A and B are shown apart, each in its own frame.
Chain A
Amino acid sequence: AQSVTQLGSHVSVSEGALVLLRCNYSSSVPPYLFWYVQYPNQGLQLLLKYTSAATLVKGINGFEAEFKKSETSFHLTKPSAHMSDAAEYFCGLTGGGADGLTFGKGTHLIIQP
């Protein structure tokens, strides 16, 4: 069985401040981990992925995430928030086999001017 927990359904940061969105996972097999972003009334867009290569993964729009096996975490960060980052963010996991993604509940990122 596998599961994903995103801490904080809503996160609010000031424009220019550090963004930190937390994701912890549980998996009985080595996981493949993903972060997706969803803007209102749109589908999910892939931000970045971890597939057992480098543990620090860089994605689009200045986001990055670090895979920490000992902490079963895959937190998403961005050094400086921009107003356009306001969206819903989903952490997802798959075991690499023939299965779909297991997602966390999502974190709504709010950017304060």
Chain B
Amino acid sequence: GAGVSQSPSNKVTEKGKDVELRCDPISGHTALYWYRQSLGQGLEFLIYFQGNSAPDKSGLPSDRFSAERTGGSVSTLTIQRTQQEDSAVYLCASSLALGGLEQYFGPGTRLTVT
């Protein structure tokens, strides 16, 4: 079946612009996660959704980052007023439910802020 998909695969943006990154989880997966992968920080967990709800936003790097999920499916990670330190690969994952189950990862969106 179809895996987790993310779009765009690559995004180059100018410092100060807003960007939206999209994640389509595996059908039927209620849990969705966002991670950031960068050279300096490795793989960082950002936020998770159970259904459309994100109970804990403390992992988001700054208040310029926000995420939403609608219809229990597609999720969007928005970065406002991008900075060069936001350059990274943003990975999305989904799992059947919360609670230690394996997460299936998408191919990621490579964001470059110039």
- Which A residues are closer than 8 A to B by beta carbons? 32, 34, 36, 41-46, 49, 51, 90, 92, 94-106
CA A44 to CA B95, docked complex, whole Å: 14
Contacts A/B (CB < 8 Å), 5 sampled: A43-B107, A99-B45, A100-B59, A101-B33, A106-B42
Contact of A43 among B48, B55, B106 (CB under 8 A): B106
Contact of A90 among B33, B43, B104, B106 (CB under 8 A): B43
User: Residue on B with the closest CB to A52?
Assistant: B100
Per the 8 Å Cβ criterion, residues 47-81 of B in contact with A are: 47-48, 50, 55-56, 59
Q: Would A105 and B98 count as touching, CB distance under 8 A?
A: no
Q: Would A101 and B99 count as touching, CB distance under 8 A?
A: no
User: Residue on A with the closest CB to B99?
Assistant: A96
Q: Would B48 and A98 count as touching, CB distance under 8 A?
A: yes
User: Residue on A with the closest CB to B48?
Assistant: A100
Q: Would B45 and A43 count as touching, CB distance under 8 A?
A: no
With A43-B4, A100-B33 already in contact, the answer to whether A32 and B42 are too (CB < 8 A) is no
B78 nearest CB across to chain A (Å): 19
Contact of A98 among B55, B93, B106 (CB under 8 A): B55
B21 nearest CB across to chain A (Å): 14
A101 to chain B: which residues have CB within 8 Å? 33, 35, 43, 45, 103
- Which B residues are closer than 8 A to A by beta carbons? 4, 33, 35, 42-43, 45-48, 50, 55-56, 59, 91, 93, 98-100, 102-108
Q: Would B42 and A44 count as touching, CB distance under 8 A?
A: no
B48 to chain A: which residues have CB within 8 Å? 98-100
- Would you list the 4 A-B pairs with minimal beta carbon distance, nearest first? A100-B45, A96-B100, A32-B100, A43-B105
Contact of A34 among B35, B59, B102 (CB under 8 A): B102
CA A42 to CA B47, docked complex, whole Å: 21
With A98-B50, A100-B33, A103-B42 already in contact, the answer to whether A45 and B102 are too (CB < 8 A) is no
Q: Would B105 and A44 count as touching, CB distance under 8 A?
A: yes
CA A90 to CA B42, docked complex, whole Å: 10
